Amino acid sequence: MRPVRWFVTTVLTVALFALIVPWSVAAQDTPATPVATPAGTPIALGAAECTVDPIEPVSYGNAVRAAVSVTDPPAIETGQPADAETVTAVSETIRTAIACSNAGDMARLLTLTDPAFAPAMLGVDRTDVQPEIDRAVAESPVERGQAAPPLIEESTGQEVSATLLGIGDIVSFPNGTAAVRMQLDSPQTGGQANATAWLRRTDAGWLVTTWALK
Protein backbone atom coordinates (compact mmCIF):
# COMPACT_ATOMS: atom_id res chain seq x y z
CA MET A 1 0.00 0.00 0.00
CA ARG A 2 1.19 3.48 -0.67
CA PRO A 3 0.74 6.72 1.27
CA VAL A 4 -1.36 9.20 -0.64
CA ARG A 5 -2.97 12.37 0.57
CA TRP A 6 -6.61 12.31 -0.43
CA PHE A 7 -9.52 14.67 -0.66
CA VAL A 8 -12.77 12.76 -0.64
CA THR A 9 -11.93 11.96 2.89
CA THR A 10 -9.56 14.10 4.85
CA VAL A 11 -8.63 16.53 2.22
CA LEU A 12 -12.16 16.79 1.86
CA THR A 13 -10.77 17.69 4.99
CA VAL A 14 -9.03 18.64 1.93
CA ALA A 15 -10.62 19.80 -0.18
CA LEU A 16 -12.09 16.66 -2.65
CA PHE A 17 -14.63 18.88 -1.36
CA ALA A 18 -13.81 24.48 4.00
CA LEU A 19 -16.60 26.20 2.21
CA ILE A 20 -19.32 23.62 2.81
CA VAL A 21 -22.92 24.54 3.21
CA PRO A 22 -24.70 22.08 5.50
CA TRP A 23 -26.96 19.53 3.81
CA SER A 24 -30.24 20.73 5.21
CA VAL A 25 -33.59 19.00 5.36
CA ALA A 26 -34.99 21.77 3.20
CA ALA A 27 -32.30 21.17 0.59
CA GLN A 28 -33.25 17.50 0.48
CA ASP A 29 -36.97 18.17 0.20
CA THR A 30 -36.85 20.99 -2.33
CA PRO A 31 -33.55 20.91 -4.22
CA ALA A 32 -32.78 23.71 -6.66
CA THR A 33 -32.04 21.08 -9.31
CA PRO A 34 -33.08 17.49 -9.89
CA VAL A 35 -31.61 15.16 -7.27
CA ALA A 36 -29.50 12.75 -9.27
CA THR A 37 -29.04 10.42 -6.30
CA PRO A 38 -31.60 10.80 -3.49
CA ALA A 39 -30.04 11.64 -0.14
CA GLY A 40 -29.68 8.64 2.13
CA THR A 41 -29.56 6.13 -0.75
CA PRO A 42 -26.17 4.37 -0.47
CA ILE A 43 -24.34 3.91 -3.74
CA ALA A 44 -21.34 1.57 -3.58
CA LEU A 45 -18.83 2.66 -6.20
CA GLY A 46 -15.62 0.87 -7.15
CA ALA A 47 -13.46 -0.38 -9.97
CA ALA A 48 -16.38 -1.35 -12.20
CA GLU A 49 -17.62 2.25 -12.17
CA CYS A 50 -14.15 3.78 -12.74
CA THR A 51 -14.66 3.95 -16.48
CA VAL A 52 -12.21 6.63 -17.65
CA ASP A 53 -8.74 6.17 -19.12
CA PRO A 54 -5.68 7.03 -17.01
CA ILE A 55 -3.84 10.28 -17.65
CA GLU A 56 -0.87 10.53 -20.00
CA PRO A 57 1.83 11.40 -17.45
CA VAL A 58 4.02 13.79 -19.45
CA SER A 59 1.23 15.96 -20.82
CA TYR A 60 -0.59 15.96 -17.47
CA GLY A 61 2.58 16.94 -15.64
CA ASN A 62 3.13 19.81 -18.08
CA ALA A 63 -0.46 20.94 -17.54
CA VAL A 64 0.01 20.84 -13.75
CA ARG A 65 3.12 23.00 -13.88
CA ALA A 66 1.43 25.51 -16.19
CA ALA A 67 -1.87 25.66 -14.26
CA VAL A 68 -3.10 28.49 -12.06
CA SER A 69 -4.56 27.31 -8.75
CA VAL A 70 -8.23 27.94 -8.11
CA THR A 71 -8.82 30.22 -5.13
CA ASP A 72 -12.05 31.37 -3.51
CA PRO A 73 -14.55 29.40 -5.61
CA PRO A 74 -17.98 31.04 -5.77
CA ALA A 75 -20.48 30.23 -3.04
CA ILE A 76 -22.96 27.65 -4.21
CA GLU A 77 -25.85 29.94 -3.21
CA THR A 78 -24.78 32.42 -5.91
CA GLY A 79 -25.28 29.90 -8.70
CA GLN A 80 -28.31 29.22 -10.81
CA PRO A 81 -29.98 25.79 -11.11
CA ALA A 82 -28.06 23.82 -13.71
CA ASP A 83 -29.73 22.52 -16.84
CA ALA A 84 -30.46 18.83 -17.24
CA GLU A 85 -27.39 18.15 -19.36
CA THR A 86 -25.08 19.68 -16.75
CA VAL A 87 -26.82 17.83 -13.92
CA THR A 88 -26.29 14.52 -15.69
CA ALA A 89 -22.67 15.18 -16.64
CA VAL A 90 -21.60 16.58 -13.26
CA SER A 91 -23.32 13.74 -11.38
CA GLU A 92 -21.53 11.18 -13.52
CA THR A 93 -18.17 12.91 -12.97
CA ILE A 94 -18.66 12.81 -9.20
CA ARG A 95 -19.69 9.16 -9.19
CA THR A 96 -16.75 8.19 -11.36
CA ALA A 97 -14.27 10.16 -9.25
CA ILE A 98 -15.45 8.43 -6.07
CA ALA A 99 -15.33 5.07 -7.85
CA CYS A 100 -11.75 5.59 -9.00
CA SER A 101 -10.73 6.67 -5.50
CA ASN A 102 -12.38 3.61 -3.94
CA ALA A 103 -10.63 1.43 -6.55
CA GLY A 104 -7.24 2.87 -5.59
CA ASP A 105 -6.76 4.10 -9.16
CA MET A 106 -5.11 7.49 -8.82
CA ALA A 107 -4.15 7.75 -12.50
CA ARG A 108 -7.79 7.49 -13.55
CA LEU A 109 -8.89 9.76 -10.71
CA LEU A 110 -6.49 12.41 -12.01
CA THR A 111 -8.24 12.19 -15.38
CA LEU A 112 -11.21 13.82 -13.64
CA THR A 113 -9.07 16.28 -11.67
CA ASP A 114 -8.15 19.79 -12.80
CA PRO A 115 -4.33 19.90 -13.15
CA ALA A 116 -4.36 22.99 -10.91
CA PHE A 117 -5.83 20.86 -8.10
CA ALA A 118 -3.53 17.87 -8.51
CA PRO A 119 -0.67 19.09 -6.24
CA ALA A 120 -3.05 19.67 -3.32
CA MET A 121 -4.64 16.27 -3.83
CA LEU A 122 -1.30 14.49 -4.11
CA GLY A 123 0.15 16.41 -1.18
CA VAL A 124 3.22 17.73 -3.02
CA ASP A 125 4.50 21.05 -4.33
CA ARG A 126 3.75 21.85 -7.96
CA THR A 127 7.44 21.60 -8.86
CA ASP A 128 7.68 18.12 -7.32
CA VAL A 129 4.54 16.64 -8.79
CA GLN A 130 5.95 14.66 -11.74
CA PRO A 131 7.29 11.68 -9.74
CA GLU A 132 3.88 11.30 -8.06
CA ILE A 133 2.15 11.42 -11.43
CA ASP A 134 4.54 8.86 -12.89
CA ARG A 135 4.00 6.56 -9.90
CA ALA A 136 0.22 6.86 -10.17
CA VAL A 137 0.33 5.81 -13.82
CA ALA A 138 2.75 2.96 -13.14
CA GLU A 139 0.44 1.58 -10.43
CA SER A 140 -2.79 2.03 -12.38
CA PRO A 141 -4.43 -1.15 -13.71
CA VAL A 142 -3.96 -1.58 -17.43
CA GLU A 143 -7.54 -2.69 -17.93
CA ARG A 144 -10.62 -0.81 -16.80
CA GLY A 145 -12.62 -2.42 -14.06
CA GLN A 146 -9.62 -3.72 -12.14
CA ALA A 147 -8.78 -2.49 -8.65
CA ALA A 148 -5.35 -1.21 -7.61
CA PRO A 149 -3.94 -1.37 -4.06
CA PRO A 150 -6.04 0.89 -1.81
CA LEU A 151 -5.17 4.53 -1.43
CA ILE A 152 -4.00 5.29 2.10
CA GLU A 153 -4.70 8.51 3.98
CA GLU A 154 -1.28 9.67 5.06
CA SER A 155 -2.04 11.06 8.52
CA THR A 156 -4.16 8.13 9.76
CA GLY A 157 -2.89 5.15 7.78
CA GLN A 158 -6.48 4.25 6.93
CA GLU A 159 -7.60 2.93 3.58
CA VAL A 160 -9.50 5.58 1.69
CA SER A 161 -13.11 4.75 0.91
CA ALA A 162 -16.39 6.62 0.60
CA THR A 163 -19.99 5.65 0.00
CA LEU A 164 -22.07 8.16 -1.90
CA LEU A 165 -25.33 8.78 -0.04
CA GLY A 166 -26.77 11.52 -2.20
CA ILE A 167 -26.20 14.21 -4.81
CA GLY A 168 -28.30 17.32 -4.31
CA ASP A 169 -28.09 20.87 -5.62
CA ILE A 170 -26.09 21.31 -8.83
CA VAL A 171 -25.69 24.92 -9.86
CA SER A 172 -24.02 26.79 -12.70
CA PHE A 173 -22.12 30.08 -12.58
CA PRO A 174 -21.79 32.81 -15.25
CA ASN A 175 -18.18 31.82 -15.96
CA GLY A 176 -19.29 28.36 -17.10
CA THR A 177 -18.24 26.47 -13.98
CA ALA A 178 -20.53 24.46 -11.73
CA ALA A 179 -20.81 23.23 -8.14
CA VAL A 180 -22.51 20.25 -6.58
CA ARG A 181 -23.56 19.33 -3.05
CA MET A 182 -23.31 15.72 -1.93
CA GLN A 183 -23.51 13.54 1.15
CA LEU A 184 -20.85 10.91 1.85
CA ASP A 185 -20.21 8.19 4.40
CA SER A 186 -16.55 7.45 5.07
CA PRO A 187 -14.36 6.05 7.85
CA GLN A 188 -12.07 9.06 7.43
CA THR A 189 -14.90 11.43 8.33
CA GLY A 190 -16.22 9.24 11.14
CA GLY A 191 -19.48 8.59 9.33
CA GLN A 192 -21.74 10.82 7.27
CA ALA A 193 -20.41 14.15 6.02
CA ASN A 194 -21.54 16.89 3.66
CA ALA A 195 -19.33 17.96 0.78
CA THR A 196 -19.30 20.44 -2.07
CA ALA A 197 -17.29 20.10 -5.26
CA TRP A 198 -16.59 22.77 -7.88
CA LEU A 199 -15.99 21.77 -11.47
CA ARG A 200 -15.14 23.31 -14.83
CA ARG A 201 -16.07 22.08 -18.28
CA THR A 202 -13.38 21.13 -20.79
CA ASP A 203 -13.48 19.60 -24.26
CA ALA A 204 -12.98 16.22 -22.60
CA GLY A 205 -15.71 16.72 -19.99
CA TRP A 206 -16.03 18.11 -16.47
CA LEU A 207 -13.02 18.31 -14.14
CA VAL A 208 -13.05 18.77 -10.37
CA THR A 209 -11.27 22.04 -9.50
CA THR A 210 -11.63 21.88 -5.71
CA TRP A 211 -13.67 20.27 -2.96
CA ALA A 212 -14.60 21.15 0.59
CA LEU A 213 -15.83 18.91 3.40
CA LYS A 214 -17.59 19.71 6.64
What integer pLDDT is reported at residue 156 of this predicted model?
Answer: 72
What phi and psi, each to the nearest 5 degrees, are found at residue 58? -70, -50
Q: What is the pLDDT of residue 37?
A: 58
Task: Using the Cα atoms of residue 49, residue 206, residue 129 and residue 9 in order, give the sign of their dihedral.
Answer: negative
By DSSP bridging, strand 178-186 and strand 163-172 are antiparallel
Beta-carbon-side half-sphere exposure of residue 142 (alpha carbons within 13 Å) = 0
Average pLDDT, the chain: 80
Containing 28, the helix (H) or strand (E) segment is helix 25-29
Q: How many angstroms separate the first and last alpha carbons of the chain?
A: 27
Query: What's 19's DSSP letter?
Result: -
The residue ranges of the chain whose pLDDT is under 70 are: 1-41, 214
Structure confidence at residue 72 (pLDDT): 84
Amino acid identity at 158: Q
The pLDDT of residue 32? 40
The predicted pLDDT at position 175 comes to: 92
Q: What is the third-level CATH fold of 2-213?
A: Nuclear Transport Factor 2; Chain: A, (3.10.450)
Assess contact for 181 and 174: CB atoms under 8 A.
no
Q: Which residue in 107, 112, 109 sits closest to 93, CA to CA?
A: 112
pLDDT of res. 29: 33
Domain spans in the chain, listed from the N-terminal domain onward: 2-213
